[in-house]
Structure 1
């Protein structure tokens, strides 16, 4: 891929705008030597205004999503993309969320521009567990764990039972729930099915990957080791 197209696909501007960066001498190598549009050069050696390029295609990001942000590019209000570098919205291929967390749910959210990786993560064959902490409106009765683990629970308007899920009580109105599938608003609907209501919901883990010390609104790009950790949690 030609260098102009590569930089444009990272969101730095149209091809015409990127060509202007070259004419202005703002594109250099790591030693500060000015680059030209026909120079053969690797991604990691390119600098714009002295700064390394954004991550190459194949990017996967872990974001600590705060409450109040929507996993969308089109909704009004605060979007998860507002928490990332602005030009990332212009990347090609696009940076997509891996599944969604609703506006009122916080926690671990993955984004990637790698379609193959996205489908590998969300595929039922991956069996990546997702761990949530829920704050409930009413005390746990004590029989919820058995109901969720039964593999027989039906959600309203559905005909296929849920896969078994593990519930751990963290207090009278606090619970940790581990899912092995991803249906629409699943945690909230599961507790509604047993007569309770989720007041706050947080996702703390996907596969073997947790948030670490990321504060709400913070993110980091994942490396190969992180992806190994992610898939090491398969079926856990």
Structure 2
């Protein structure tokens, strides 16, 4: 029953559902030969209704998250999983977001079902730079970059100061921030701490990965070479 468990864990249905697919002859190899539940065959050779099997466990992808979508499996409204193949939401282990972008923030979002990789990415030891571009409600005062880089800025309800962050002024109400940590609503709270408000927020890159030509709402599977890029190798 190895194939039944494999296919069920990829979100194609319960083991009962997958067993029915075998009985209906809908699971074949790449040559179109019908497979049986006890067959031994490589993942890449399996087809369901003629289509290749979804990627195996260890899937990591990047998503260009639009505004209006929530990083959750249960919240009301539009969920990021609606931008992915429906089966991805049912995979086991779960395909989880690596950190979050709030509903009103767009940009690069990483997702993986590899728990060890997830913890490696979010670990402070990784020191991955996360770049955000913010459009503000008011003109910049001129001292924000110094305050953010000081390593002394305390956010409301926090007990430890923020790590130093870099800020580049792109316009009177437009700034680019480079962070090495990811506290709750951090960029919005940083500007609130200096008397401003973020109207829009976008994250174009994490570590060595950037959205580049990936359109809004689209996703791309990442391979080992992309992870090397992410960690700057």
| SS state at 2:231 partner | helix
Deviation string 1:158-198 (CA, Å, 9 cap, x unpaired) is: 12010000000000000000000010000000001111110
Tell me the number of residue pairs that the alignment of Structure 1 and Structure 2 aligns.
233
Runs of 4+ in 1 over 4 A off after TM superposition: none
Matches within 5 A, 1:42-81: 42-81=42-81
**Structure-2 separation of matches of 1:50 and 1:158:** 54
Following superposition of structure 1 onto structure 2, how do residues 24-43 of structure 1 map, counting pairs within 5 Å? 24-43=24-43
Q: Offset at 1:220?
A: 0.8
SS of match in other structure, 2:131: strand
1:155-166 equivalences under 5 Å are 155-166=155-166
Question: Any idea what SS the aligned residue of 1:217 has?
Answer: coil
Separation in structure 2 between the aligned mates of residue 122 and residue 5 of structure 1, nearest angstrom: 30
1:23 offset after TM fit, Å?
Answer: 1.0
Equivalents in 1 of 2:141, 2:36: separation in Å? 69
Q: Given the two structures, how large is their TM-score scaled by the length of structure 1? A: 0.97
User: SS in structure 2 opposite 1:139?
Assistant: coil
> Match of 1:232, SS?
coil
Q: Give the Cα separation in 2 of the matches to 1:180 and 1:85.
A: 31
Structure-1 separation of matches of 2:157 and 2:34: 62
Please give the alpha-carbon distance, in whole angstroms, between the structure 2 residues aligned to 1:117 and 1:170. Answer: 34
Q: Distance in 1 between matches of 2:127 and 2:100?
A: 17
Structure 2 equivalent of residue 153 of structure 1 = 153
RMSD: 1.0
Long gaps (5+) in structure 1: none
Supply the distance in 1 between the matched residues of 2:118 and 2:16 (Cα, whole angstroms): 31
Match of 1:94 in 2: 94
Q: Hey, what's the Cα distance between the residues in 2 that align with 1:192 and 1:71?
A: 23
